[in-house]
Structure 1
Amino acid sequence: MVALKKFPTSGDGNTPDDTLFGHIANDLQQQGYSIRHGALPLPIALALFEHQQSLSANKYSEAGIGRHENFVKNEFIRTDEICWINGDADACKQWIDWTSKLQTYLNQRLFLGLFSFESHFAHYAPGDYYKRHYDAFKGEANRVLSVVTYLNPGWNNNDNGELVIYHHDQDLEGTKVVPLFGTVVIFLSEEFPHEVLPATRDRFSIAGWFRVNTSIANAIDPPR
């Protein structure tokens, strides 16, 4: 597991504060992932939900594997569609501001060196899936933390569509996360294989990644 530097605790062994970001940092330090239901502030969650519902079909593109010249569409792996977030709408600006504050906090507390953040809306039609995969391979990518938040009001267990986080390659059961409205999931990108199970209704979310800077010479990565 990626080494996370320990931060000071209070005398009773608890984290030094009770803020949401503090709990997320502690979760990451202790187990490498954090699942926080209702964590995304309601005004931001509602704004993002309304914005995503307003997106026309032509704003989405078929999802695939890899970036830029390495992009490959692979329906065996995934069948969802995505729309990248660039901050051109007020709801997206609110989301970027919130994740920026989280980035600053985690860098100060866990010394992760997070450099940038990229994210997209994701839409899974009934029956769509994303099979078991890693978001980053050790030593080959600069994604450090994966972030997922869900925008599905009124979701129940019969709707399915869970995210399954596996704890290691031999884990066949994993931890299932119901995509409830406002839930935020964060995990170390290189450490946890995961998948999205098919749902029986349209499923909406945002997926994003905090990245480190691996720029070399005139090649800027992450690209701006």
Structure 2
Amino acid sequence: MKPLIHPTEATYDYIADAIADKGYCVLPQLLHANMNNALQQRVMNLDEDDFKRAGIGREQDFQLNNTVRRDETRWLTLDNSIDKAYLDQMAEFRLAMNRRLFMGLFDYEAHYAHYARGAFYKKHVDAFKGESNRVLTTVLYLNPEWQEADGGQLFIYAADSDTVIESVNPNFGCFVIFLSEQFPHEVVKSYRDRYSIAGWFRLHDPLQAPLI
């Protein structure tokens, strides 16, 4: 699939200003509608066996915990044309943020996430200060005709607080960006199948090869 570039320089300026000002940005849509549609069809056509139960922690600290999260994931790969188109778009995004914010973003990893009916992910952070090279988190939602009553909202909390500063409905095409270390967040219980792509821009770690 050939990438269809939708974000403009003005859009990147807006995102960078929001990140610099408050550390996060929520956009009703970022990507071209054709790309959103292709990604939605791609994730809907995956078999149940393509997904794996998500856990908490990485590498030797990885464990499953039903009280913390109940979603399933599948990593995007470069050998699928639709996955590659999205990853190429995120490469453009990475360069745009580096030009504006001098963040030193080096690469990007992303997975499809499926929240079945009743699934959730309790309040957590994507990176602990000094312990991870994940710097900037992204979420793209792939849920047509989502209703507030369907649940599955993303709650973004103020740092070191239980105050919800943003509640995001997982509407089709909505794109969220936030600083990985700064914002605890939560996915509340979903009452229908919920799909998204979660991704992380990372700094260079000379001891770890890029996942993508």
| Contact 1:127 1:198 (8 Å CA) reproduced | yes
**Letter matched to residue 100 of structure 1:** A
Q: 1:40 aligns with which of 4, 24, 31?
A: 31
Alignment of 1:133-148 (within 5 A): 133-148=124-139
1:101 aligns with 2:92: yes
Listed one character per residue, the Cα deviations across residues 178-209 of structure 1 (whole Å, up to 9, x for unaligned) are 00000000000000000000111100000000
Q: Any residues of structure 2 matched to 1:1-224 within 5 Å, and which? A: 19-215=10-206, 219-223=207-211
Unaligned 5+ runs, structure 2: 1-7
Shift of 1:223: 4.9
RMSD over equivalenced CA pairs, Å: 1.4
How many pairs were matched up? 205
Cα deviation 1:138-164 (Å, max 9, x = unaligned): 111110000001000011111111000
Q: Is the 8 A contact 1:78 1:131 kept in 2?
A: yes
SS in structure 2 at match of 1:19? helix
* Alpha-carbon contact 1:211-1:222 (below 8 Å) kept: no
Q: CA deviation at 1:221?
A: 4.7
Q: Quote the Cα distance in structure 2 between the aligned partners of 1:199 and 1:66.
A: 23
Unaligned runs of 5+ in 1: 1-16
Deviates more, 1:120-129 or 1:71-80: 71-80
2: CA distance, partners of 1:20 / 1:138: 29
SS at match of 1:195: strand
Matched-pair contact (CA < 8 Å) for 2:134–2:201: yes
Instruction: For residue 89 of structure 1, report the CA deviation from its aligned partner.
Output: 1.7
